[in-house]
Chain A
Amino acid sequence: MSKVVKAKYTADAVDGFTPRTAMEEAARCLLCIDAPCSKGCPAGTDPGKFIRSIRFRNVKGAAETIRENNVLGGSCARVCPYDRLCEEYCSRCGIDKPIEIGKLQRFAVEQEKAHKMKILKAPAKKKAAKVACIGSGPASLACAAKLAQEGYQVTIFEAAEKAGGVLTYGITPARLPQHVVDFDIKAVKDLGVKFVFDTKVGEDITVEELKKSGFSAIFVGAGLWEAKVPEIPGNDLKGVTNAIDFLKSARDSKGSFDPGKRVIVIGGGDVAMDCATTAKLLGAENVMIYYRRTLEEAPANMAEIQYATSLGVTITTNFAPKEILGNGNVEFAVFKGRDGASEAKVAADTVVFAIGQAPEDMTKIAPVKVTDKGAIAANAKGKTNVVGLFAAGDIVNGGKTVVEAVAAGKEAAAEIISYLEKKEGVK
């Protein structure tokens, strides 16, 4: 009998540290010179420094380091693939196992909240220039925060009714509770960044109108919100859905959503794992992940794969969806083996496609150059072919991690600042 984890949809997947256990973990840190873990963080959160502060009983200092370097430090602490980033670089791996960096970061941010710290400050004297950020996901939030700290007036335009983008709508709350996202967003709001909701730039308001109303630079951090569903027979049956809709419905329902008894999730990324764990936590009896390639080729973070299997989710690899069968409602999903010979016909009430997301039509926003996949063609600093229009995050890189979006958003903010400083009359 395998011991399978039983948990509530809204309960934390992992318990945090107490001050005492955080100290025990920080005491394992080797305090390396030129800390490799710090080099392993795309957003420059500097774990080497904040762990040292925890070790020297300066938790508030640790919180300052995190928040100043990474405005989404709370969310990153929950969803970063540490095993591929900071923790993989940890020198302690050479002795036994890496320091639990993400969990220490979570602890420091929890302390920041408990002590009601207000770390980031915007200058009282605002610069004349106004910047519009499109989308309120990680890239935009990081970009907006950096600009606001420099005294620029920033407004974020969000198509949905709540801020956070993928953080709010695309991840299971067991991994990333909404209060953690909200606390990060509050840090951005406290800098004076304005939020306009239910407003899709390119539809409800145009870039031209934004420019007319005084915005001298535009940042696009729109993310990827077009669900990919393969062109196979039966994909329109009732009970067939995509990851975006599935996760959003679950999150909006706060746990009262019925995922169905037998749920098949198709895909091999973190989003697929989130769909599967969501289904399981919401009471599905049998949750099965099917993935077209091997586990080794799967983009998902190993920790998320392990969390899914710990809940009793099964993962079948090397099977790609061929067709969905049913009579109005889904009854079966049929898979074809990678070997060209095997086949599987699996009964299901719900089939969730989590095979990636695509950009919406960005040319509706502005005449930007897009790649063949529809992503905005911007350079590493977020510059696009349209003067004064910048972009970063998933909409440029085709969908990577939250921390990489934060890094790209920060980078773009620096580019926007140098653009605005050069622009005549804007200081």
Chain B
Amino acid sequence: MAVKKDLSIDYLGVKCENPFFLSSSPVGGNYDMVRKAYEAGWGGVFFKTVGIFVADECSPRFDQTNKEGLPWLGFKNMEQISDKPTEKNFEFMRRLKEDYPEKIMVATIMGSNEQEWKDLAKMCEQAGADLIEGNFSCPQMTSHAMGSDVGSTPELVKLYSQAVSSTTKIPFIAKMTPNVTNMVLPARAALEGGAAGVSAINTVKSITNIDFENMTAMPVVNGKSSISGYSGAAVKPIALRFIAQMLQDEIVGKAPISGIGGIETWRDAVEFLLLGCRNLQVTTSIMQYGYRIVEDMISGVSHFMDERGYDKLDDFIGLALGNIIPAEELNRDFKILPQFDHKKCIGCGRCYVSCYDAAHQAIDWDEKKRRPNLNEECVGCHLCLNVCPVQGCITPGELTWKEGRKPVEIALKHNYE
């Protein structure tokens, strides 16, 4: 009897069966795709962005980064908004909402001027969308009146948010671009313009690889390429950072945030929830693995809740946010020395190499026994723990206090995977 928990959540006044949604992308671009996703267990969809503009796409348009044989660390795409006629897209959405009333339909739209935003908002209403998302953040649009160029200009974000919220009562979500230094500014602008919430992050402007055959970036389109959006596991840290900063803002932090960026597993999902997200969006890992990944998200989050005695998502949403503090407020009075389990140690010496070449030469290498020994130089940085290939071999050990500092009770991490 598989453990099943109640994963339902209220997001912008809409009751969702779970927080797992497809993000606005190729994974939710027509009726059949979304139907299959619903049947796999996704709670809703941010339908592939619709504009008055119909995209003309290049080929090929994807690339990926990898490291040491592990593919898809990150993913680059040069795709724009939907290449289907506007009416057809709204027709898909209307039918999906009709056939699956329990599932949540978010219409993602992108206009190039105020009137287009208004017209699109109307069409969303007619299609029966539960929510509307404004795409202010696609970094590969061929028009500079749309996409991330808009999202990095707070005035435009506010103007277009106003255009939508003055046209319809359906809650409006502004999708943020990470190609800014401070996301709080456009997020505040969106809320000032009447947006009910924000979603973040869209893709990060990138060049993934340079091709030696054509002397251009990847993917190669007739010997040329462009800078375009990067997504997947590699961008999760960037997403979490922007989201934490927004949620810690006194104004933006009051609005519900939909988290996007490198979510593949239930753990990623829980991380976004622990920061305070109330909705989650996924594309890249679906592109790699398919809709079925939601099964393990649902199961994994259920087990996480079961272990900790949580009955609903609200029991743990936002629990980690308050523990992310400015660097100047961290307690810097102590160091935790690593301890080495010589029985578990396999004698590879990676800890020694890294510590000597990149830290504090705090490890002496016993050549005969092929074992590391800590010396006086250790500053407790834990680089060795991070390079050790053996689980549970190097662990946090003795805690020492710096000269003249006052010992207090310290919370530690004990278990490293």
List the interface of chain A (C-beta within 8 A of B).
Answer: 18-20, 27, 31, 52-53, 56-58, 60-61, 64, 68, 119-121
Contact = CB atoms under 8 A, between A and B. Distances in A.
B266 to A, nearest CB: 6
Contacts of B265: 56-58
Contacts of A31: 289-290
Contact of A56 (B296, B391, B417): B296
A58 B270 CA distance: 13
B397 to A, nearest CB: 20
B330 interface: no
Contacts of A27: 70
B317 to A, nearest CB: 20
A56 B303 contact: no
9 closest pairs, A vs B, by CB? A61-B299, A56-B296, A58-B300, A58-B296, A60-B303, A121-B1, A20-B391, A56-B265, A57-B265
Interface in B243-268: 264-267
A110 B183 CA distance: 45
B417 A20 contact: yes
Q: Give the residue among A20, A31, A52, A57 with the most B Cβ atoms within 10 A.
A: A57
A19 B417 contact: yes
A255 B2 CA distance: 39
B3 interface: yes
A374 B340 CA distance: 61
B296 A52 contact: yes
Contacts of A120: 1
Contacts of A60: 3, 299-300, 303
Given A27-B70, A61-B2, 9 more contacts: A52-B292, A56-B264, A56-B266, A56-B293, A56-B296, A57-B300, A60-B303, A61-B303, A64-B2
9 contacts: A19-B391, A19-B417, A20-B417, A53-B296, A56-B266, A56-B297, A57-B267, A61-B296, A120-B1
B1 A18 contact: no
A61 to B, nearest CB: 4
A64 B300 contact: no
Contacts of A121: 1
A68 B417 CA distance: 27
A119 B293 CA distance: 22
A119 B4 CA distance: 12
Interface residues of B, number: 21
B1 A119 contact: yes
Contacts of B70: 27
A19 B289 CA distance: 22
Nearest to A53: B296
Nearest to B2: A64
B311 to A, nearest CB: 18
A61 B295 CA distance: 9
B1 A58 contact: no
B299 A57 contact: no
Contact of B300 (A19, A20, A56, A119): A56
A52 B293 CA distance: 8
Given A19-B391, A20-B417, A121-B1, A64 B299 contact: yes
A305 B76 CA distance: 49
B266 A57 contact: yes
B274 to A, nearest CB: 16
A19 B417 CA distance: 7
B266 A64 contact: no
Nearest to A49: B295
B245 to A, nearest CB: 27
A20 B295 CA distance: 22
Contacts of A19: 391, 417
A120 B265 CA distance: 25
B57 to A, nearest CB: 26
Nearest to A31: B289
A20 B391 CA distance: 7
A20 B416 CA distance: 11
Interface in B120-149: none
A65 to B, nearest CB: 8
Contacts of A57: 265-267, 296, 300
A119 B2 CA distance: 7
Contacts of B299: 53, 58, 60-61, 64
B70 to A, nearest CB: 7
Given A52-B296, A61-B300, A18 B391 contact: yes
A321 to B, nearest CB: 47
A304 B8 CA distance: 50
Contacts of A56: 264-266, 293, 296-297, 300
Nearest to A23: B417
Nearest to A64: B2
A224 to B, nearest CB: 34
B355 to A, nearest CB: 21
A383 to B, nearest CB: 29
Interface in B1-39: 1-3
A297 B106 CA distance: 63
Contacts of B303: 58, 60-61
Contacts of B3: 60, 64
A104 to B, nearest CB: 15
Interface in B394-410: none
Contacts of A61: 2, 295-296, 299-300, 303
A58 B303 CA distance: 9
A61 B302 CA distance: 10
A19 B415 CA distance: 12
Nearest to A56: B296
B183 to A, nearest CB: 28
Interface in B85-141: none
A273 to B, nearest CB: 31
A53 B294 CA distance: 11
Nearest to B292: A52
A27 B288 CA distance: 13
A212 B180 CA distance: 81
Nearest to A61: B299
